[in-house]
Structure 1
Amino acid sequence: MDLGIQGKVALVMASSRGLGQAMAVSLAREGVKVAVTGRNPEGLKQSLELIQAAGGQGMVLNWDLADLSVIDGLVSQVENTLGPIDILINNTGGPLPTPAAGQDPALWQKSFNDMVLSLIAITDRVLPGMRQRKWDRIITSTTSGAIAPIKNLAISNTLRAALLAWSKTLSAEVASEGVTVNVIMPGRIATDRLRQLDEARANREGTTYEAVVKASLGQIPMGRYGDPREYGDAAAFLASQNASFITGTIMRIDGGQIQAI
């Protein structure tokens, strides 16, 4: 299927590994020019190599989401090198596991800046051009914990839920101008991050990693973890011409795991 996005330009945040990398590569397979970002030089190099192996064109940007002052300059680099940004993939790394109670307010503030305010500011930087072109895509990757809170991931659950409300509100503001705004939500996708969380749970509960995985698979109707490519391909579809009438919604890639309707 031709998704109708060949030659478009995408900026994919936090794409040196994991789900961000998977989304970047899936877009590259469709002929999208992709800017990948992150703080891991080796991971960024790998992402660029994967983009090129998929037949795509890309660039890398060392980008610390905590620093709002670099947004304008780095976005300008993408625009000057690849062209105006047609597809923005909002994505961040996950915070350390924590309970809800007793967290330092400074940690909440830092996490908010890294995971919420940074993405809003980046979106605001690219949005004027998107509205002028009247064909653009904003896709925000969150977590299933935003609608079905995950134990011991209180910061992630809370702050990514805020992104759901922001995305829905923004979608109505720009829909008539041809810009779609959607959320993509993973269940349990087989990334390094998921392995770390499963290992942390095993340590916390005094059990084995294998036992944690077995219990997790029992909660997924499909009986397996998702492949990162499946997540990336779903994001590419939302970015496509084929998805031009989809906005203000949440796409779950979860194998049927999330119980909320």
Structure 2
Amino acid sequence: MAVASALAAEGANLVITGRRGEEATRIAAELPSAAIGVETDLCTQEGLTAAVTAANARFGSVDILVLNGPGPAPGTAAGLSSEDMSSAFELLLRPQHALVSSFLPGMRKRRWGRILAIGSSGVAAPLPNLALSNTGRAALAGYLKTLAAEVASDDVTVNMLLPGRIATERTRGLDLAAARRRGVTVDMIEAESRTSIPAGRYGNTEEFAATAAFLCSGLASYVTGTALRCDGGWSGPSDSRLGSLS
């Protein structure tokens, strides 16, 4: 929601997709620019087709593509099955590749485009107990980094934005899970996390969204192939038992 709001504030028209159609429509209705909500499951071919069709039908072309896959369930690397590895690919790489493949030709033809993936600090340093996220998002980062060099001369930028401890529902949920594992309060988990952040606090969604909007703007035309950290200087949990953002 925060990234969508930041882009809308800059005048971008938006297509909001999600499995919960009512929520996608609600978010679209609250934005200060033209926007539509589309109920779709991007992990299915039918859902991908519906999203692409809706975007092209409403706005004619897509110049900015923001990729934001869900966070997989926590778990250890030693406990992963072959089915788990396949699920990481299906959740965090295949839909993103399909969306890029749908919209990239138009961007290259028009000689302007922005592709931005919302990643994880686990791309820079794998996070404890988040093996699926570490695996899938690292694969996506490798694909996007390779792509960035191939399309830079067409004025299409490809970047990834890596959140650290941003105050979101996802972060709160991981902190709660860490608290249950350790038998402590969530306040203790949050306090320990803050000690590992040079800025001394969790980031807020508006700060993160402003960084995303910059990377999607014309001013960022010479920034491509990067994995930019937005984490208050955080280099990862000093205690491997802490919950971490995927």
Q: Is this a same-fold pair by TM over 0.5?
A: yes
Query: Normalising to structure 2: TM-score of the pair?
Result: 0.92
Alpha-carbon distance in 2 for matches of 1:100, 1:170:
28
- Paired AA for residue 140 in structure 2: L
Alpha-carbon distance in 2 for matches of 1:89, 1:191:
18
Describe the SS at the equivalent of 1:92: coil
Query: In the alignment, is residue 46 of structure 1 matched against residue 26 of structure 2?
Result: yes
1:62 Cα deviation from its structure 2 partner: 1.2
Greater shift, 63-72 or 95-104, is seen at 63-72
1:42 Cα deviation from its structure 2 partner: 4.1
Aligned to 1:137: 114
Describe the SS at the equivalent of 1:77: helix
Aligned to 2:151: 174
Aligned to 1:31: 11
Alpha-carbon distance in 1 for matches of 2:179, 2:127:
15
Question: Matched residue pairs, number?
Answer: 236
Equivalent residue runs for 1:190-201 within 5 Å: 190-201=167-178
- Paired AA for residue 148 in structure 2: S
Query: In the alignment, is residue 89 of structure 1 matched against residue 66 of structure 2?
Result: yes
- Tell whether the 8 Å contact from 1:72 to 1:125 is kept in structure 2 after alignment: no
Structure 1 segments of 4 or more deviating over 6 A?
none
Percent of matched pairs sharing the same residue? 42
1:184 Cα deviation from its structure 2 partner: 0.7
Aligned to 2:54: 77
Question: Gapped runs of 5+ residues in structure 1?
Answer: 1-20
Question: Gapped runs of 5+ residues in structure 2?
Answer: 237-246
Query: In the alignment, is residue 256 of structure 1 matched against residue 233 of structure 2?
Result: yes
Alpha-carbon distance in 2 for matches of 1:74, 1:49:
17
1:43 Cα deviation from its structure 2 partner: 2.8
- Tell whether the 8 Å contact from 2:13 to 2:34 is kept in structure 1 after alignment: yes
1:72 Cα deviation from its structure 2 partner: 2.9
> Which deviations, in whole Å up to 9, do the C-alpha atoms of 1:129-175 show, x marking residues without a partner?
11100011000111001121111111101111111111110001101
> Which deviations, in whole Å up to 9, do the C-alpha atoms of 1:85-139 show, x marking residues without a partner?
0000011110111111122321221221111111011100111111100011000
> Which deviations, in whole Å up to 9, do the C-alpha atoms of 1:220-243 show, x marking residues without a partner?
111111111111111110010101
Do the aligned partners of residues 39 and 70 (structure 1) sit closer, same or farther apart at CA in structure 2, a change above 3 Å counting?
A: closer
Equivalent residue runs for 1:115-194 within 5 Å: 115-194=92-171
Query: In the alignment, is residue 225 of structure 1 matched against residue 202 of structure 2?
Result: yes
Query: Normalising to structure 1: TM-score of the pair?
Result: 0.87
Describe the SS at the equivalent of 1:185: strand
Aligned to 2:241: none
- Paired AA for residue 129 in structure 1: G
1:41 Cα deviation from its structure 2 partner: 3.2
Equivalent residue runs for 1:197-216 within 5 Å: 197-216=174-193
